[in-house]
Structure 1
């Protein structure tokens, strides 16, 4: 039996909420030269911003957008907040919105930063919330934060003077301005773009360089032979939700030496049938851990399912538990990669 629940991530990211078991414009404040202590990585980085610094133009899902330096950011979910905190931007963050399905922020490498800002809501992101917070920037993903149905889109916020930033990974199906990159490249792009918006380009470059080195080190140690077929189980009983090739687990699997059995799907988080899962004969199942259903309950469901009884991963009880914030776009993707890579290296095939 090879079942492991990873430990709490060391310092260096959920699919959108689903029905399936799944303003205030603010004037630019003059900034004096300041030193900022980065809590997440334990490293000190000096952030120097000149008074009266002008706006910068940065891509937002393929669209050129002009930003002024934000001072009251609202972040939706852990991936957004983690990106900001990893760049040492806690002083620019007003607060965060964290639906209850998310793991506790006390488990974050940036727990101190979460304590230093305001918890705004455990509801879904909405326009009234960010207006009441007097936000000058909202950071979220498309369909996992921003939503046509809930009336909070970048265009709507543009119209009321609130800036918005979308995770590049989520831009794949953004109407009008799609942007296609691999999930890890999306993470790197976000850190670079946020670095330019806030004037901390050097810190962003250091972070991205460090992540790339860690990914390369994992690739070098990948098990020899054919990639291990891997199925990610998010949720669902009648039909499972899983990861296509447009979300971070696909990169986590492939860099570690595996192959996502649904990596051929040009999708983000998507529903499939049990028959294709069985036909793919995965040797490992990744359990995405979030919400009110513990990972062990998901494992118990799979091991008791007649349809999955002969699947190699179930027969051998090869389950790996991936933390929610390691599976959505954010700095903790790299932690999840390293843990899963270690698991595959130790797997007895």
Structure 2
């Protein structure tokens, strides 16, 4: 499910996923109206089905901070009229943070169906194939007919949404690059998308030159500790998740890279058996630097005091990385920064 972008004579077929049957007419006019430059644009879903946009959307709602951040970085933030799961204060660079504060928060969690359908948006960018069951008071998930009735198309960030359909392990960031390229095409910001992708590739390429050729036995094992997923039974990242690609590109070895899919619950005895060399304290953004540090402290303290984990090699040696969950597991330009940050920590002196 990591097909490359294919541009044709009359338009584009791009990698972002679109909900089958969720299309009405196009979403508003692009610059100049009519057959806007770069359109029509067709987007594919996880199964390869396509939905066509005759022009750029005028009003967009994002399911969470991932889609919002990408649109802001593309320069399409003025089109975003609402979001769920908003980014915490200070989670984005200063200029982007200021713009993000201006976006209406439709929900601190999953956007209720009535609010989403009544938002007036003609495009909904969803980070996951289904946000149901994730909390936030969602009052059901709209049907294809309900999306169509209000003239709203729904697309997904395929790098996350298509994990279940992915047939091979995710070992690079091409799926994330495809999401950026697709959103750029849909919003008429293809040139900006190309610049963002080029910058990501430059960072990752530098790391791969330094540590990408390391054989498996020279790669330190790495455990992504999803503290906010609960400590009674750990949730680990598997080989179809973006985090697996980030860890692999950084010259490390995902301790649970032998499980297939996106996430899996295991037992602490499984973590002990892996005895990872490094542990990422992957907490979710709390809305500010001080709150985030407190959460990192809590996660580290839990590992250091829990009888099942305090004897782990990484815990005894203090080999912790304080890197937020979102920038590791959800599509964004920060995925490349995370690759570099992990590589610098686990391979000191090799990555500049």
Structure 2 residue aligned with 1:15: none
Structure 2 residue aligned with 1:334: 336
| 1:283 CA drift (Å) | 0.6
Corresponding pairs, count: 304
More strand by share: 1
Q: Distance in 1 between matches of 2:226 and 2:259?
A: 16
| 1:315 CA drift (Å) | 1.2
1:219-244 CA-to-partner distances (Å, cap 9, x unmatched) read 12228661010011103222111211
Q: Please list, as runs of the form range in 1=range in 2, the aligned pairs for 1:106-255 lying within 5 A after superposition.
A: 106-109=90-93, 110-143=96-129, 145=131, 151-152=140-141, 155-156=144-145, 158-160=147-149, 161-172=151-162, 178-180=165-167, 182=170, 184-222=173-211, 226-235=218-227, 236-255=230-249
| 1:138 CA drift (Å) | 0.9
Structure 2: gaps of 5 or more residues: 1-21, 287-293
Residue 90, structure 1, aligned to residue 77, structure 2: yes
Q: Distance in 2 between matches of 1:57 and 1:71?
A: 17
Q: What TM-score, normalized by structure 2, do the two folds share?
A: 0.77
RMSD: 2.9
CA contact (8 A) 1:78 1:98 kept: yes
CA contact (8 A) 1:244 1:264 kept: yes
* Cα distance, 1:65–1:30 mapped onto 2, change above 3 Å: closer
| 1:343 CA drift (Å) | 1.3
| 1:125 CA drift (Å) | 2.4
* Cα distance, 1:250–1:343 mapped onto 2, change above 3 Å: same
| 1:107 CA drift (Å) | 2.4
* Cα distance, 1:320–1:135 mapped onto 2, change above 3 Å: same
| 1:95 CA drift (Å) | 2.0
| 1:171 CA drift (Å) | 3.1
Tell me the SS of whatever aligns to 2:162: helix
| 1:336 CA drift (Å) | 1.7
Q: Distance in 2 between matches of 1:344 and 1:24?
A: 46
Which has the higher mean CA deviation after the structures are superposed, 60-69 or 75-84?
Answer: 60-69
Residue 278, structure 1, aligned to residue 272, structure 2: yes
- The higher-RCO structure (CA 8 Å, 6+ apart) is 1
Q: Distance in 2 between matches of 1:244 and 1:345?
A: 22
Tell me the SS of whatever aligns to 1:306: coil
Q: Distance in 2 between matches of 1:153 and 1:321?
A: 37
Which has the higher mean CA deviation after the structures are superposed, 156-165 or 105-114?
Answer: 156-165
Tell me the SS of whatever aligns to 2:43: strand
Q: Distance in 1 between matches of 2:23 and 2:202?
A: 41
Q: Distance in 1 between matches of 2:148 and 2:28?
A: 21
1:95-150 CA-to-partner distances (Å, cap 9, x unmatched) read 22126xxx514320221221333222213123211122111111112256367996
Structure 2 residue aligned with 1:73: 60
Structure 1 residue aligned with 2:88: 104
1:291-327 CA-to-partner distances (Å, cap 9, x unmatched) read 6681211111111122223311011011111113312
* Cα distance, 1:314–1:156 mapped onto 2, change above 3 Å: farther
Tell me the SS of whatever aligns to 1:307: coil
Q: Distance in 2 between matches of 1:239 and 1:30?
A: 49
